[in-house]
Amino acid sequence: MIDRHATTLRDAHLLPDPARPGRLSRPAATQIEFADSKAHPQLQLADWAAGAVRQWAAHLAVGGGDRFAQDLENVVRPWVIEAIWPSVPAN
């Protein structure tokens, strides 16, 4: 997915910044390098975190799921709500 959209990611700074009207976005990436997670512990951790978020999100999207997916909420929710995804405003 990243490889397919590498040009867009590198050129994202040319898009308007929705948080700062009239200004361009800040650069998201200056270069993209692909690596094998077997050789990079940081990627092993990122793979684990992405898998945990995916399992929890799938549980939310379709309901049900196993107890592990439900238990992931306490760990995963703080990573994504108000960190990656915006929170829903309270009424």
Residue 77 CA to its chain's centroid (Å): 12
- Do 83 and 45 reside in the same domain of the chain? yes
At residue 32, does pLDDT exceed 80?
Answer: no
- Do 8 and 28 reside in the same domain of the chain? yes
Q: What is the mean pLDDT of residues 67-72?
A: 84
- Do 11 and 55 reside in the same domain of the chain? no
Number of domains in the chain: 2
Average confidence score pLDDT of the chain: 80
- Do 46 and 85 reside in the same domain of the chain? yes
- Do 18 and 52 reside in the same domain of the chain? no
- Do 47 and 60 reside in the same domain of the chain? yes
Q: Which of 46, 51, 72 is nearest to 60 (CA)?
A: 72
CA distance 80 to 77: 5
Per-residue model confidence (pLDDT) at position 67: 83
Q: Residue 43: which domain range? A: 37-91
| pLDDT-derived band at 64, boundaries 50, 70, 90 | low
